């Protein structure tokens, strides 16, 4: 990766951290080496089904099945450049051992961008955008969960374009959070990520260019997605997209293919979050701040230094352990989580244009009980 690359103008439309974060300090990685957090991982991994709605044997079965592709072949949560996220390889006839590297196509960056986006949607992505990589978005070091090794990580020279991708998670499933059915919706998102990343990377390589697919590994997905025009950051620390709200899973592909970059643009999320504190109020671990933005996070898992809301990862993960299952209550209760439709699309349009009705929209969200959970059984009956 070229460290002379300063990033395009759209990358400077929102604050960029002045240093590279060590992945080892991320809360999910700390669970594998930090003696204070390791007991929480053990408790989280102890899945116990019961007769409670959303925690029955069938619910946990759905959860394990949804995660299977990611855990068996993806490895996007464990290490980089592995499994379906391998940085090398193309599909080819096994009898053709002497197949040469494809010659690069000569389409324009604009045409290549159009083709890549169409292919991404064909393979199963719900959102796709393109940006120039800022070096500070890449982790300084990777922490390999499988080997517990800790080592520097770099993007190969020339792969400075990033294709940011998102898959939407099942709405009804996510409305049952924090149950195993909601966990299944998240797991399916991760398995879909691995499939889309692998197939799109193979397509790029077939055109003669390098493609480095990544899940949660290698680099920060949220600022990349923002720079690529997919959405805006929020109080809960997640990306908010205009169409799906926070109900998406993010991944990316680094490439040396010449592409036309998209631009970051505010959709009114930050200003709305200043008024709406529903996620902070409903968070069972009080991990989401309800006050003003700060430049310093609560602990070593915070990527501090820019003005924003910082999530307390330790508190969040503690509830995961207590629940023996992940949690997405913040996604469930977020007003931006509502499915597309004429009324909801109009509300999003108004929020993007003005803040004058934000308080009213927050009140209506509660009156209409959009923050209430669905019974997990509703998923099975739908």
pLDDT tens, the chain, 382 aa long? 333 333 333 344 899 999 999 999 999 999 999 999 999 999 999 988 899 999 999 999 999 999 999 999 999 999 999 999 999 975 554 445 555 668 898 899 999 999 999 999 999 999 999 999 999 999 999 999 999 999 999 999 999 999 999 999 999 999 999 999 999 999 999 999 999 999 999 999 999 999 999 999 999 999 999 999 999 999 999 999 999 999 999 999 999 999 999 999 999 999 999 999 999 999 999 999 999 999 999 999 999 999 999 999 999 999 999 999 999 999 999 999 999 999 999 999 999 999 999 999 999 999 999 999 999 999 999 9
Query: Is 4 a domain residue?
Result: no
Residue range(s) defining the domain that contains residue 201: 9-91+102-381
Query: Is 3 a domain residue?
Result: no
Q: Please spell the DSSP secondary structure of 64-120, one letter per residue.
A: HHHHHHIIIII-TTT-SS-GGG-SS-----TT-TTPPPPPPP---HHHHHHHHHHHH
Exposed, middle or buried by CB within 10 Å (0-12, 13-18, 19+), for 221? buried
Give the chain's domain count: 1
Query: Is 233 a domain residue?
Result: yes
Query: Is 96 a domain residue?
Result: no
How does strand 211-214 pair with strand 161-168?
A: unpaired
């Amino acid at each position: 990766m070229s460290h002379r690359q300063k990033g395009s103008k759209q990358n400077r439309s929102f604050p960029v951290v002045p240093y590279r974060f060590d992945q080892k300090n991320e809360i999910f990685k700390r669970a594998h080496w930090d003696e204070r957090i390791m007991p929480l991982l053990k408790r989280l991994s102890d899945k116990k089904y019961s007769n409670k709605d959303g925690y029955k044997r069938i619910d946990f079965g759905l959860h394990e099945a949804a995660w299977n592709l990611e855990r068996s072949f993806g490895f996007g949560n464990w290490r980089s450049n592995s499994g379906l996220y391998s940085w090398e390889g193309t599909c080819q006839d096994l009898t053709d051992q002497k197949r040469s590297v494809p010659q690069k196509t000569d389409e324009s960056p604009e045409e290549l961008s159009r083709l890549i986006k169409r292919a991404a949607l064909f393979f199963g992505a719900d959102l796709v955008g393109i940006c120039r990589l800022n070096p500070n978005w890449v982790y300084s070091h990777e922490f390999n969960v499988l080997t517990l090794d800790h080592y520097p990580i770099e993007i190969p020279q020339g792969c400075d374009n990033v294709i940011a991708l998102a898959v939407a998670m099942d709405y009804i499933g996510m409305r049952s959070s924090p149950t195993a059915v909601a966990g299944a919706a998240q797991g399916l998102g991760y398995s879909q990520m691995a499939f889309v990343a692998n197939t799109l990377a193979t397509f790029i390589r077939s055109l003669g260019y390098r493609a480095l697919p990544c899940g949660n590994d290698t680099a920060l997905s949220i600022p990349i997605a923002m720079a690529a025009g997919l959405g805006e950051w929020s109080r809960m620390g997640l990306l908010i997209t205009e169409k799906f709200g926070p109900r998406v899973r993010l991944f990316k592909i680094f490439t040396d293919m010449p592409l036309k970059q998209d631009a970051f643009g505010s959709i009114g999320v930050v200003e709305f979050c200043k008024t709406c504190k529903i996620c902070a109020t409903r968070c069972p671990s009080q991990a989401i701040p309800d006050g003003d933005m700060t430049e310093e996070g609560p602990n070593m898992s915070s990527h501090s230094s820019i003005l924003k809301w910082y999530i307390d990862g330790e508190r969040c993960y503690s509830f995961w352990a207590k629940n023996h299952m992940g949690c997405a209550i913040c996604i469930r209760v977020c007003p931006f989580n509502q499915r597309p439709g004429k009324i909801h699309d109009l509300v999003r349009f108004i929020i993007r244009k003005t803040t004058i009705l934000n308080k009213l929209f927050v009140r209506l969200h509660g009156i209409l009980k959009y923050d209430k959970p669905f019974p997990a059984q509703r998923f099975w009956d739908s």
